[in-house]
Structure 1
Amino acid sequence: MRFYDDISIGDEYRSEPYRISQSEIIEFGEKYDPQPFHTDPEAAENSVFGGLVASGWQTAALCMRLHVQSSEETATQAGVGIDDLRWHRPLRPGDSLRLRSEIIGKRPSESRGDRGFVTTRHEGVNQDDDLVISYEATAMVRRHSDE
């Protein structure tokens, strides 16, 4: 288990790739983001994207999955915010998404000595190493119990 005190600015993590299918894109789109370019391959052909694309929210959710799978077990207590979320290019059926993460900041809690806050810069890239999504996430992380 990694605690706040075990984490250093500059620590990096890399995920394994996750390949997204057309059926996953359509299922998510129908349930959470029912726009034609997420749900209907034929209608998507006439969209600004020129074909079916994953919802940006699905891309963000996949990044969360990749983050949890790729980082060591951490004593995270809660996420507290996302900053500078950007979608740079769409995720298409058959694309593979990988996550690159780097710790860019940390600060102890001012009100509670048993926790601190860690900020991580995340970049989701496709199989061609093209940037798909980027954001900074801050989480509350428990300190060692003896501190």
Structure 2
Amino acid sequence: MIPAERTSTGMPEATRMSQLRHVTKPAIATNRGQFYPLRCRPLNRRAGVVLPLASSTEASMTNLYFEELQIGIRSAAGPYSLSKEEIIRFAKQYDPIPRHIDEELAAQSVFGGLTASGSHTFAIYILLSGQLQPHFQVLMGLGWDELKLTNPVRPGDALDLEMTVLELRPSKSKPDWGIVRNKNLLRNQKHETVLECISTIFVARRPDANVSPR
């Protein structure tokens, strides 16, 4: 009898391939309930674990036009991990308040420790906004309403952003643009909201779209 071929891990090749065939590729959801599979690569051949394979051009990014959006669809980005050094460096330059730059003084504050500046938290929100998946064909922002900083951001926090479409309407002055209002929630690893707001943005309409009101 010919012995079964084995991989460098000691596992029979046929067994390993059988396990890999049962691994489900991760996917991102679009507003229409469709899923676009991400490119994957093995993280650990022994366990057959896969992770999304990112590229510099983000080949898996979905850029949605105004016509492709629906009320209630969600986009997500993150996590963004925050270090003590980054909190202090940002605060020294933009918001030099003791509770953001001095650990001993911060321990005596109402927050009981070092916290990120509110402007730093908002800057992270802006950064993650540009990384949301699915991504929209955003032309420009119009502003933010009901901005709240509901919990302090501390060293070691990992922040995720979730955006939900609340309202869609075509622009009256720019027929090839659409106006989208969204609810934004920035949360830490404990799922505590640290920032929330309503954003209004212009999103491009399809070049071949009928520009009459929806």
Fold equivalence (TM over 0.5): yes
> TM-score, normalization: structure 1?
0.94
Give the structure 2 partner of residue 48 of structure 1. 110
Deviation of 1:137 after TM superposition, in Å, equals 0.5
Cα deviations by residue, 1:103-127 (Å, 9 ceiling, x for unpaired): 1111110111110111110111111
2:199 & 2:176 partners in 1: Cα distance?
A: 20
Gaps of 5+ in 2: 1-62, 210-214
Task: Name the one with the larger helix percent.
Answer: 1
1:127 & 1:72 partners in 2: Cα distance?
A: 21
2:122 & 2:70 partners in 1: Cα distance?
A: 24
Deviation of 1:72 after TM superposition, in Å, equals 3.0
How many residue pairs were aligned?
A: 147
Deviation of 1:14 after TM superposition, in Å, equals 2.2
- Residues 1:37 and 2:77 are matched in the alignment: no
1:104 & 1:48 partners in 2: Cα distance?
A: 35
Give the structure 2 partner of residue 70 of structure 1. 132
1:82 & 1:139 partners in 2: Cα distance?
A: 9
Alignment of 1:1-147 (within 5 A): 1-147=63-209
Gaps of 5+ in 1: none
Q: Does the residue aligned with 2:189 lie in a helix, a strand or coil?
A: coil
2:160 & 2:121 partners in 1: Cα distance?
A: 11
Cα deviations by residue, 1:5-61 (Å, 9 ceiling, x for unpaired): 111111112223111000110111011111111111121111111111001111111
2:82 touches 2:155 (CA, 8 Å); kept in 1? Answer: yes
> TM-score, normalization: structure 2?
0.66
Identity across matched positions, percent: 37
Runs of 4+ in 1 over 3 A off after TM superposition: none
2:185 & 2:205 partners in 1: Cα distance?
A: 26
Deviation of 1:70 after TM superposition, in Å, equals 2.3
Q: Does the residue aligned with 2:196 lie in a helix, a strand or coil?
A: strand
Q: Does the residue aligned with 2:122 lie in a helix, a strand or coil?
A: helix
Deviation of 1:67 after TM superposition, in Å, equals 2.2
